[in-house]
Amino acid sequence: MNETQKPTVVILAAGKNSRFFPLNTETHKGCLPLLGEPIIIRTLRNLEAHGFMDIVIVVSEKDFQGKGFSAEITKYNLNSNISWTLQPDAQGAGQALLTATAHLQTEHFIMLSPYYTNAGELAEELWHSQQTEQSECVFMGTQVENPSLYGMFEFDPEHANRVIGIVEKPQEHAPSNYKINSIYLLSKSFMAHLETTPQEEYSLEAALTSFAKDHVVTWVENTEELPSLKYSWHLFEMLSHLFENQKTSISPEANISTTAVLDDSAGPIIIKAGARIGDFAKIVGPCYIGSEAMVGDYCFVRGECSIEAGATVGANTEVVRAILLPKASIHFGYLADSILGQGVKVGAGLITANKRLDRAPIRTQLKGSMVTLPSNRQGVIIGAYANLGISVRAMPGILLGARTFVHPATTISKNTEHEPIETE
């Protein structure tokens, strides 16, 4: 192979994303928009900047052939050679990767998640290592203090840069203190090995482990924690990450009242063309106001907020550290540490509680189990096209499914998927 030809990149953007409930219905989690564009677009641009131009995107039915993200991508000026492949059933990453087999143009290829916005730098490290070591595959690892939570590298005692196995979540006597990251440089011979591995949810991990025992597999260290979108509330961490490289930018085509106050002393304020900011509204950065979005009269928007395209913050509303996805709307209320999904409609008077009275960590039920959130501050997360009546109250950590209807004057104290919540 020509050494100047960069490997094909396979981006896995399929699966049910069930742990990402309730924001998992309209598109893949890595394709949700933040700061005005899908997260995956930033990943693709970063890959382009480093010369990785041949891309295979594996998607589920909701993002295939003109649906979901496959329709959105046409809005962006990308130069990549993009191929699409469908994973018809969510049977794990191994099966998803196998659907890309026919599109692999190079002996080696790189597999990664759609929300690695520095994918180009990471891919460059893996490719350089393969060229230097002439290894079959290259993994990436990060040092951790709690090996029992991760798949941990087992190294060759005579060759520290060679991986000979991966031990999943060792409870004691971990083989190393480096976990494997979910970005890999793999080979067509690995694909042949994967095809012989029984296909189930963790077939990819099983194949990686067994392949490393009999082939030359090296690794490179990553000293920065890669972003995660395991749960829907991880969007807040992603938003914080994206704000790090932003500067204040106010479009001259935005309609901003002369009485509005824009304070970017604590972080950038970005207002796009067509956005409207009403009388006596106050915006404190970091904050993004998308195209055709509106912040009404006497509103207070502060903290890390992203008001996406066409979203509405109606008059007399306070929004704190919140995300409104496209065309979501709220007015005359208090929205804190919360996410409104695409097209969500909220009647007047919503109040979100974002802390427990005892200030203990917040827990929420997900997939039949209680999950402890990473902080003691979390409001409500509402799936796409849900409708909330007037005077609704939501307890901390509530997850409401897509297209849910909530009756007026309801206090929401438990999660729901698609059934209406009755007035208490």
Q: What is the pLDDT of residues 148-189, one digit of tens each?
A: 888 899 999 988 899 999 988 898 889 999 999 999 999 999
Q: Say which range, 15-29, 275-289, 333-347, has the weakest mean pLDDT.
A: 15-29
pLDDT of residue 344: 98
pLDDT of residue 368: 84
The boundaries of every CATH 2.160.10.10 domain in the chain are 234-412
The boundaries of every CATH 3.90.550.10 domain in the chain are 8-221
E strand segments, 208-350: 217-221, 249-250, 255-256, 261-263, 269-271, 276-277, 282-284, 287-289, 294-295, 300-302, 305-307, 312-313, 318-320, 323-324, 329-330, 334-336, 339-340, 345-346
| pLDDT class of 1 with cuts at 50, 70, 90 | very low
| pLDDT class of 410 with cuts at 50, 70, 90 | very high
Q: What is the mean pLDDT of residues 54-64?
A: 96
pLDDT of residue 198: 85
Q: Whole-structure pTM over 0.85, yes or no?
A: yes
pLDDT tens digits along 209-232: 999 988 999 999 998 888 889 999
β partners of residue 313: 295, 330
pLDDT at 31 over 80: yes
pLDDT at 103 over 50: yes
| pLDDT class of 91 with cuts at 50, 70, 90 | confident
pLDDT at 34 over 50: yes
Q: What percent of the chain has pLDDT over 90?
A: 82
pLDDT at 418 over 70: no
* More reliable by pLDDT, 313 or 367: 313
Q: Is the peptide bond before 22 cis (omega within 30 degrees of 0)?
A: yes
pLDDT of residue 4: 64
Q: d(Cα 24, Cα 251) in Å, to the nearest integer?
A: 32
pLDDT of residue 8: 97
CATH topology of domain 8-221: Spore Coat Polysaccharide Biosynthesis Protein SpsA; Chain A (3.90.550)
Residues 323 and 337 sit within 8 Å (Cβ to Cβ): no
Sign of CA dihedral 361, 362, 365, 371: negative
* More reliable by pLDDT, 161 or 417: 161
Q: Which of 204, 15, 213, 242 is nearest to 118 (CA)?
A: 242
Q: What is the mean pLDDT of residues 372-399?
A: 95
Q: Say which range, 45-54, 156-165, 386-395, has the weakest mean pLDDT.
A: 156-165
Q: What is the mean pLDDT of residues 357-371?
A: 90
pLDDT of residue 149: 86
Q: What is the mean pLDDT of residues 249-269?
A: 98
Q: What's the mean per-residue pLDDT of the chain? A: 93
Residues 8 and 109 sit within 8 Å (Cβ to Cβ): yes
pLDDT at 420 over 70: no
Q: What is the mean pLDDT of residues 375-404?
A: 96
Q: Which CATH number fits domain 234-412: 3.30.360.10, 2.160.10.10, 2.40.128.90, 3.40.50.360?
A: 2.160.10.10
